[in-house]
Structure 1
Amino acid sequence: MVTLFLTNVLLGLSIALPVGTVTIEMTKQGLKNGFLHGWVVGLGGMTVDLLLIVLLYSGLASFLSAPFIQLMMWLIGALFLLYIGYDSIRHADHDITSPGEHVKKSFASSYMNGIFVAISPSNLIFWLSVFGTVLTNSLQSSHSFHFLLIAAGILTGILIHDLGLMTIVSGTRKVLNQLYIKWVSIAAGCVLIGFSCYFLYRFIGNLRIYF
């Protein structure tokens, strides 16, 4: 059991290492508002992961893998990322706090940003593929605990990554001036808009099968 858990902690770490939308938003918020705000973005992303795990465990894998559901997720993800990317560029020089200053941005706002950037079919497809073999046996009580153990291991790995990333970002923040942080925010917004365009491209491509 311990080996299974630790193996999936490593899997969670490896999943979180590649730069994605959640990592970009975490880094931006961490630089602008400190460790806790960046970490709360990660918690928002993990909330989406946890929700998907619950839905899969509840037997909704076939529903979530339906082409129409994935089509809608491409569109919803594109719209959310477009909004967050635009907002990141528009307010690049706003809400930048120095270490020790009072942070005006609310944790709820950072948390919701984490949820929004995590909503994507790529995230859904990942969970479907990771738990594909586990789901076939999830109705058997002897395997239900294994399912939950794997999920807990992966989420723990993602959490360790998020804490490590925010520790590095918060340390870097102490030696950066506000102009540099502003341009990081602009760059992050451009990348998020790029992801949005890709999601929209996938939505349009998948939409063609209905016409």
Structure 2
Amino acid sequence: MSLYFAYVMIGLSIAMPVGAITVEMTKQGLKNGFMHGWAVGIGGMTIDVLLILALYFGLAKVLALPYIQMPLWIIGAGFLFILAYDSIKNADKDITLTGEKVNKSLFKTYRNGLLVAVSPGNLVFWVSVFGAVLADSYSANESSSFIIVAMGILTGILLHDIGLLSIVSITRKIMNRHMIKWTSIVAGILLFGFGCYFLYEFYIDIQSFF
């Protein structure tokens, strides 16, 4: 159990820094409530779980190849630019104040979580976190350790998401439409910034590759 709780804390600490998923969760939580912010988080965790399974079965070596990582930076940047554009363009749309009925589909916000999570930063994170564990997990005797580590990190991320969205839900009660609109615009600018960072990393990789 000590191994599990240790990796719960690691999952919490990893999720704390503001990233693209956190920005999208906060935006959707403010505009449409806890469940929509939660749908973004679940979308991100869906990719996390799929990556853990893929890494367990040997994907880590493939993702570590430079010519595999480089196109992923471009793909990730493209996804973030699309979300950033949508966030700014529709900043004053789909806003539901506390007590009003939410009309936006949960699936759309879940899809946004999937798009944000399919990024090189997320892929490289899982490769680095599980790299040391994978070396031992290929043997049958150590496979249980890999599962404990994975569950611990996912639990930590889950606790972070619940805590963040609880704060967002409370804050949302005192915000009006104008404030939420500008929050969405700021979120779009931040997502655009993350997309530019991905392009920068692609440029750095290209320079080092050649």
TM-score (norm 2): 0.97
Aligned to 2:184: 185
Aligned to 1:69: 68
Aligned to 1:53: 52
**Unmatched runs of 5 consecutive residues or more in structure 2:** none
Aligned to 1:127: 126
Kindly report which structure 2 residues correspond to 1:200-211, keeping only aligned pairs within 5 A, or say none. Answer: 200-209=199-208
Aligned to 2:153: 154
Structure 1 counterpart of 2:52, one-letter code: I
Aligned to 1:40: 39
Aligned to 2:10: 11
Deviations 1:26-77 (A, max 9, x none): 0000000000000110111111111111111001211111111111110110
State the alpha-carbon separation in 2 of the partners of residues 29 and 15 from structure 1: 21
**Unmatched runs of 5 consecutive residues or more in structure 1:** none
Aligned to 1:195: 194
Task: Report the count of equivalent residues.
Answer: 210
Structure 1 counterpart of 2:33, one-letter code: G
Structure 1 counterpart of 2:168, one-letter code: V
Aligned to 1:96: 95
State the alpha-carbon separation in 2 of the partners of residues 50 and 76 from structure 1: 20
Moved more, 14-23 or 126-135: 126-135
Q: Quote how far apart the aligned CAs of 1:208 are.
A: 3.9
Q: Quote how far apart the aligned CAs of 1:210 are.
A: 5.5
Q: Quote how far apart the aligned CAs of 1:131 are.
A: 1.1
State the alpha-carbon separation in 2 of the partners of residues 21 and 99 from structure 1: 25
Aligned to 1:26: 25
